[in-house]
């Protein structure tokens, strides 16, 4: 009898722990189909289902959940309206929408974590298809950029930087921000994903001092050295055994007294252990993404390539995300 009671009590506990998922799921569906916008002005479910050609029952259910979560309000005459818009992700067409993180979590992180039993059983890993997920990942990186950029600007000033190389530049958000502040300094971004590189070119087209190269950094040899080399959120794309080699190459690309600046989650950090372990669990389901380094790894790579670690500062403490700066 007691055993039965404990079972139900525990099950209830798991269900309660999972409650916040409903909120994220609801916001994700709304973002993905731009549904919060569809109900910005009072509209009935029938009207939206017809106008957007959506399955009526599912839309109705999703709206019902939204009413319970207070994402929507039911009005008279079967109409519904979006509530607390400031709390919800902005439209997909808005480059600054927070919804992109929901998309990455729901389409990439959670399915990968759910694949664990199958991957474990089959003694296999999945493959990260950057042509599918590359654009989403590049966009979510711009969220971190917002917080990390001021630290990068500090490095520019401290090392009297005249030229910047950004390897794995994604949509070149850092270069774009730097170019606004330093319009006459030479900046080069290297990005392996063609779609992402093209979108980076578009984003920086007004800045004549930025050049974007669609290249693999393993096949890249710059003609000139740079005062600052950046590698932001790139290390988990590089096999742990190849990271020392990457540091050695990067050290070659840097001018004397220049700097290497690396943004990455750290494994087993002082703060943010849960986030960092969740990221690692996700990365490790892929045969072409790798666990993030520890602080000691970074120290070791630097020493082997003649660089000195000058600082390791948290960007998001609870996320275990750091910026490490090395001097040549
Ligand atoms: C997570 S994104 C980070 C983008 C950007 N650095 C940022 O922090 O916002 C990593 C980027 O590195 C690119 N990348 C991965 N391996 C690369 C390689 N070998 N050469 C060049 N780019 C690479 C990926 O395509 C992706 O766009």
How far apart are alpha carbons 145 and 110 in whole angstroms? 23
- The answer to pTM > 0.95 is no
Tell me the CA–centroid distance for residue 106 and ligand 1, in Å.
Answer: 21
Smallest CA separation from ligand 1 atom 24, residue: 168
Quickly count: other Cβ atoms within 10 Å of residue 94's Cβ: 12
Smallest CA separation from ligand 1 atom 13, residue: 168
**Interval 196-232: pLDDT, tens:** 999 999 999 999 999 999 999 999 999 999 999 999 9
Q: Is the dihedral of CA 186, 206, 94, 48 positive or negative?
A: negative
Q: Is the dihedral of CA 301, 304, 305, 310 positive or negative?
A: positive
Tell me the CA–centroid distance for residue 234 and ligand 1, in Å.
Answer: 5
Q: Are strands 226-232 and 163-167 parallel, antiparallel or unpaired?
A: parallel
Q: Percent of the chain beyond pLDDT 70?
A: 100
User: How is the chain split into domains, by residue range?
Assistant: 2-90, 130-327
The fold of the 130-327 domain, in CATH, is: Rossmann fold (3.40.50)
**Interval 173-206: pLDDT, tens:** 999 999 999 999 999 999 999 999 999 999 999 9
At residue 91, the 3 state secondary structure works out as coil
The Cα-based distances of 155 to 43, 146, 149, 224, 327 in angstroms read 51, 16, 10, 20, 11
The alpha carbon of 260 is separated from its chain's Cα centroid by a whole number of angstroms, namely: 21
pLDDT at 152 over 80: yes
The Cα-based distances of 127 to 29, 104, 132, 193, 218 in angstroms read 25, 16, 11, 15, 20
Tokens of 248: 């050695």
Tell me the CA–centroid distance for residue 319 and ligand 1, in Å.
Answer: 19
Query: What mean pLDDT comes out for the span 294-312?
Result: 96
The alpha carbon of 77 is separated from its chain's Cα centroid by a whole number of angstroms, namely: 42
Q: Which atom of ligand 1 is nearest to the CA of 141?
A: 9
Tokens of 197: 């590189």
Architecture of domain 2-90: Orthogonal Bundle (1.10)
């Amino acid at each position: 009898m007691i055993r039965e009671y404990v079972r139900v009590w525990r099950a209830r506990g798991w269900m309660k722990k999972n409650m916040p998922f409903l909120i994220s799921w609801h916001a994700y569906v709304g973002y993905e189909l731009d549904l919060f916008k569809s109900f910005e002005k009072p509209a009935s479910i029938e009207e939206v289902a017809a106008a957007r050609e959506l399955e009526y029952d599912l839309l109705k259910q999703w709206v019902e959940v939204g009413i319970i979560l207070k994402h929507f309000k039911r009005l008279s005459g079967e109409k519904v309206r979006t509530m607390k818009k400031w709390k919800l992700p902005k439209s997909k067409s808005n480059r600054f929408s927070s919804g992109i993180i929901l998309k990455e979590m729901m389409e990439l992180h959670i399915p990968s974590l759910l694949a664990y039993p199958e991957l474990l059983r089959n003694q296999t890993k999945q493959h990260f298809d950057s042509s599918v997920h590359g654009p989403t990942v590049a966009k979510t990186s711009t969220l971190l950029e917002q917080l990390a950029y001021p630290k990068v600007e500090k490095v520019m000033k401290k090392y009297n930087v005249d030229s910047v190389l950004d390897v794995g530049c994604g949509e070149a958000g850092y270069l774009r921000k730097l170019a606004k502040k330093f319009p006459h300094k030479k900046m080069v971004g290297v990005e392996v994903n063609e779609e992402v590189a093209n979108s980076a070119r578009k984003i920086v087209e007004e800045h004549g001092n930025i050049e974007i190269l669609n290249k693999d950094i393993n096949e890249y040899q710059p003609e000139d050295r740079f005062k600052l080399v950046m590698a932001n959120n790139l290390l988990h794309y590089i096999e742990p055994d190849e990271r020392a080699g990457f540091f050695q190459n990067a050290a070659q690309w840097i001018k004397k007294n220049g700097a290497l600046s690396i943004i990455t989650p750290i494994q087993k950090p002082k703060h943010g252990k849960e986030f960092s372990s969740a990221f690692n669990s996700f990365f490790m389901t892929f045969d072409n993404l790798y666990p993030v380094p520890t602080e000691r790894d970074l120290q070791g790579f630097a020493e082997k390539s003649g660089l000195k670690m000058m600082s390791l500062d948290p960007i998001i403490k609870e996320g275990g995300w750091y910026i490490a700066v090395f001097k040549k």
